[in-house]
Amino acid sequence: MQRAPTISVVITTWNRPDALRAVVEACFGQDDLNFEIIIADDGSTANTKDCIDQLRARSPVPLLHVWQEDLGFRAAMARNRATLAASGEYIVFLDGDCIPQSDFISQHRKLAEHGYLVSGSRVLLSPALTARVLAERIDLPRAGVGEKLAYRFKGHINKVAQLLVQWPDIGRHRRKFSWRRIKSCNLGVWRKDLDRVNGFDESFTGWGHEDSDLVVRLFNAGVMRKDGAFATEVFHLWHKEAVRDQESSNRKVVVQRAKDGTVRAIQGLAEHA
């Protein structure tokens, strides 16, 4: 039987402390507290630091803040630097606007398997419900079945079955690999596999597909996919779409790397070391 891994949760953030607070507080409420939190901060201002300091003071788990200067969208670098600061064998990447359910860690731990990444899924919130959650500090992970059904009926969440039903670690392995629909907002990866592919590639310019690139290179290195749906859902708070001026060119790089079998990032973990 595989030994349970030590887990580090890397939470990416940039100037949205109210959302970050909701995410981290949901981490505090996990039914498995054997993990650490690393905040991967892509250049937020003092408001976010103050928020993190307040959270750290009452955190039931180790909590580190890894900050870098704001020089534009550099989430790949922020995640790499947080990964280097992490002590876990298994890294769960989570975005600072994705609120985990109370068994998020324990489910990721159950699904963790050598040779595989775990691609979690998300439940999208409406702008109205997002505003209420942040203003009233609604504890979404502890919402009852009736509340969840009501949110779905009123159009405040885009799906509900995944919040009401869980299936065990059976039939989750994907024989055919696809990098599409895999997001780093909810992704479990072994640290040794991240080292093998040199982490996220910081040579990507602007928003878009640096997470798809990581997944493609992991596959090229022999890491397959497990589906985390109906086990590791997160509530994704609404936000305006990011500027996607580089998305097309970034996608072309990913497609090419899928064809040529690229494994290691041009600029990644090793360059920081």
pLDDT in tens, 53-112: 999 999 999 999 999 999 999 999 999 999 999 999 999 999 999 999 999 999 999 999
> Residue 96 and residue 15: Cα distance in Å, rounded?
10
The structural domains of the chain, with segments of one domain joined by +, span 7-272
Q: What is residue 82's three-state secondary structure? A: helix
Q: What is residue 9's three-state secondary structure? A: strand
pLDDT in tens, 15-69: 999 999 999 999 999 999 999 999 999 999 999 999 999 999 999 999 999 999 9
Report how far Cα 240 is from the mean position of its chain's Cα atoms: 18
Residues 6+ apart with CB under 8 A from 252: none
How is domain 7-272 classified at the CATH fold level? Answer: Spore Coat Polysaccharide Biosynthesis Protein SpsA; Chain A (3.90.550)
- pTM across the whole model: 0.95
Residues 6+ apart with CB under 8 A from 3: none
> Residue 122 and residue 67: Cα distance in Å, rounded?
26
Contact 86, 10 (CB under 8 A): yes
pLDDT in tens, 120-135: 999 999 999 999 999 9
- Say whether pLDDT at 269 is over 70: yes
pLDDT category at 242 given cuts 50, 70, 90 is low
- Torsions phi, psi of 131, nearest 5? -60, -40
Mean pLDDT of the chain: 93
